[in-house]
Amino acid sequence: MILGIAKGAGMIAPNMATMLAFILTDAEIPKDYLKKIFPKFVEKSFNRITVDGDTSTNDTVYMLASNLKPIKFGKEFENHCLEVMQELAHLIIKDGEGAGKVIKVHIKGAKTKRDAQVFAESVANSLLVKTAFYGEDPNWGRIFSALGKTGIEFKVEEVELYINNVLWIKNLKMINSEEKIKKEMGKDNVEVLIKLKEGKISYEVLTCDLTEEYIKINAHYRT
């Protein structure tokens, strides 16, 4: 059995922030094995989310095993553990301060993992992108601008942009109507797929839209 509890809604960015998460299991797991695999799970879950791009000095993820139940630890256990942590990460974004929708930024076809990560985080943390999704404004230039400001070279004319598997931009031209794209932007869960065609590396980051409610929350209390 694997259980997870997490707390956090603001100041959430890669390397976490003011977030607490506890993963509990009754499985009999060797300590050295757990220490080896757990950071990999954190990297693929809590370090792939951003609410506002801000981090702080306080963040913790614990995994505790009671060792009461002998199991055959391996891929099956690892997959279930990662699934729990990714679901918690998704719920943190869903519950983000003022959040109205969850947005997955999926970079595909980057040259390196570092390039893919930088591209994904640049789009996910862009205030103009986040507000565009709040207003359901299909201003694709904001996404391309977020890619361009990274300083990483790529062939902009080769980029394909999709929203929820609907082709949005190809050859720097809008393929589907604004009405169709706006409809997709209005959904509670949105995936933005950016195909770079520079390599074979993919990377995903979860973020949310930026709303007036976020501003109200953070403008009217002192931390």
Q: What positions carry a catalytic annotation?
A: 18
Side-chain half-sphere CA neighbours of 19 within 13 A: 32
- 57: buried, middle or exposed (CB in 10 Å: 19+, 13-18, 0-12)? exposed
Q: Which of 188, 147, 138, 146 is nearest to 167 (CA)?
A: 138
Helical (H) or strand (E) element with 204: strand 201-208
* Neighbouring-strand partners of residue 23: 4, 63
The number of residues making up the chain comes to 223
Dihedral (CA of 194, 209, 204, 201) sign: positive
